[in-house]
Amino acid sequence: MELRHLRYFVAVAEERHFGRAAARLHMAQPPLSQQIRQLESELGLQLLRRTTRRVELTPAGEAYLVRAQQILAAVSSATGEAQRVAAGLQGRLVIGCVGSATYSLLPQLVRTLREELPDVEVAVQGEMLAPDQAQALVEGRIDLGLLRPPVDEESLQVHVLRSDRLIVAVPDGHRLAERRRVRLKDLAGEDFVIHAGGGRSVMHDTVLARCRAAGFEPRIRHEVAETSTLVTFVAAGLGIAVVPAPVAELMVPGVAYRPLTGQAAVELAAATRADDEAPHLRRALAVVSALV
């Protein structure tokens, strides 16, 4: 039995006439009649009662018609789904995101993906530090990472999206909150709230390197894993923080943001597995690039 036998039978059963069914199938009537007889012979039962004027279904034919229609619909659905997946219009995408991009880029990205790729299921893991994202990519737990380079994992492909200026977050009422711009060396002697060290955060190493280049060692009072916690600590008066400019999108009462002088900046990049050629991932990368 082949799918064509089911298609032939369904056409005859729905038309209740061999001539009309043959015309619908764009074939001659004698071969159609022969194919239906072969099907009945293989099944060992009669599906149709033939009269001079029309065709009637036997009870077995009625039951067989329902299942045949379901099978043909399932085949058509499978074909359509495969075509949509191959075109990158369907699939599942898990995105990891560093804290600063979680509050700035991520909301717009998810909205745009839903508009342009409505059949791609999008899941998000925000507030992920860059090393955690790299490990999650390698292990297949996420498909796209929005992170701060450098990334040392050779199996990953990294595309720089933009460069974010560094700013300083200070508590309201702090002496530096009165200034329009702040020099990095003006932060010497301040208590710092900083992202986690020990190789867990790119921002930790970036802030340390910038402060040392400005001639001082930062006095670190608190290390945190999440950007939202960092800003909350600043609002509580537990210290100041050097952060990427998009963090200012996180509107926490009690915090003032001031630009730093100079060209201090950090890059934001999209990272994927180098061997991941999923079409919907390629489309998502195009959306990300267009947004930034």
CA pair distance 128, 110, nearest whole angstrom: 17
Instruction: Classify each residue of 26-41 as buried b or exposed e, where b means 16 or more C-beta atoms within 10 Å of its C-beta.
Output: eeeeeebbebbeebbe
Is the pLDDT at 229 greater than 90? The verdict is: yes
Summary mean pLDDT of the chain: 90
pLDDT tens figures, 201-217? 889 999 999 999 999 99
pLDDT at residue 85, as a whole number: 67
Question: Are the beta carbons of 239 and 192 closer than 8 angstroms?
Answer: yes
CA 152 to chain centroid, in Å, comes to 23
CA pair distance 211, 260, nearest whole angstrom: 12
pLDDT at residue 250, as a whole number: 83
Domains delineated in the chain: 3-86 (1.10.10.10), 91-291 (3.40.190.290)
> What percentage of the chain carries pLDDT values higher than 90?
67
pLDDT at residue 91, as a whole number: 86
pLDDT tens figures, 106-146? 889 999 999 988 888 999 988 888 899 999 999 999 999 99
Triad 214, 219, 223: Cα angle to 5°:
115
pLDDT tens figures, 264-288? 899 999 999 999 989 899 989 999 9
**Span 217-240, average pLDDT:** 94
Q: Among positive and negative, which fits the CA dihedral 189, 261, 230, 212? A: negative
Alpha helices (H) along 44-199: 59-86, 99-116, 130-139
Of the two residues 251 and 7, the one the predictor is more confident about is 7
pLDDT at residue 11, as a whole number: 92
pLDDT tens figures, 239-257? 999 999 999 988 889 999 9
Residue 220: strand pairing partners: 192
Residue 119: strand pairing partners: none
CA pair distance 49, 70, nearest whole angstrom: 22
pLDDT confidence tier of residue 234, bands split at 50, 70 and 90: very high
Q: Kindly state the tokens that stand for 249.
A: 């999108």
DSSP state of 261: S
pLDDT tens figures, 68-109? 999 988 988 887 777 776 767 778 999 999 988 888 888 899
> What phi and psi values does residue 72 have, to the nearest 5 degrees?
-65, -40
pLDDT at residue 103, as a whole number: 81
Assess whether the previous peptide bond of 31 is cis (omega < 30° from 0).
no
Of the two residues 237 and 83, the one the predictor is more confident about is 237
Q: Which of 159, 220, 232, 154 is nearest to 187 (CA)?
A: 220
Of the two residues 227 and 103, the one the predictor is more confident about is 227
